[in-house]
Structure 1
Amino acid sequence: MKDLYRVLIVDDEPLIRQGIKHYLDWEKSGFEIVGEASNGQEALALIPQCQPHIMLTDMVMPIMDGEVLTKEMKQHYPNIQVVILSSFGEYDYVRSAFHHGAIDYILKPKLNAKDLHDVLCKAVQHIPKVLKCEETYQKVVSSKSTQIEKVIDGYSSKEDIEQLCKLFTYPYFCLIGVVSQNESGNINKVECAERILEPFYQQHEDQVRYAWIKEDQYTSIAIVNLNDLELYERLKNVCKVAAQISFIMTSCFEQLQQLRRIYMEEWKALIQLPFYFSEKSLICTEDAPCTKKEEPFNLDWFTDEWKNGHYDLAFQYLRQYSYGLVQSAHLSVNEFRSFFNHIFFTVTILLSNHGYERSMLEKVKFSYVSKVSAALSAHEVIDYMERFIEEMNDTVTQVSVKGNEDSIQQVIEYISTHYHEPISLNVVAETFHFNASYLSAQFSHRMKVGFNEYVNRIRIEHACKQLTEGKRPISEIGGVVGYSDHSYFCKVFKKLKGVSPSYYRRQQKKDQLRELG
Structure 2
Amino acid sequence: MKDHVLIVDDEPIIRNGLKSFIDWEKLGLAVEGDSANGLAALELLRDRPVDILITDIKMPVMDGLELTREALKINPDLQIVLISSYNEFDYVREGMKHGAVDYLLKPTLEADELIAVLLRCKERLAGCRKQADEKTRLARQTSLLERKRIEQDIVRLLAGAREETRFADLFGRRGAAYVCAYVMADCLSEWGERYGNLHASIVYEDLQALFYEQFQTGSAPILAGEGLLLLYPRDEGAGGHSIERFKARAEAELGLSVSAGYCEVEASERLETAYRRSRAAAERRFFEGTGRVFVHDGTNDGTNGADEAGGRFEEMNRHAMLELVRAEKDGGAVLDGFVARWRREGPSPEQTKREACELLSAFAYASGDTRTVTGFRDGVWRCDTVSRLGELMRALVREMEQPNRLRLNDNGHGGQLVAKAVAYIERHYRDDLTLQDVADSVHVSKSYFSNLFKKQTGQNFIDYLIDLRIGEAKRLLVRNECRIYEVAEKAGFNDVKYFSKLFKKTTQMTPVEYREKHQR
Q: Which TM bucket (shorter chain)?
A: 0.3 to 0.5
**Structure number, greater radius of gyration:** 1
Normalised TM-score (structure 1): 0.38
Scaled by the length of structure 2, the TM-score of the pair is 0.38
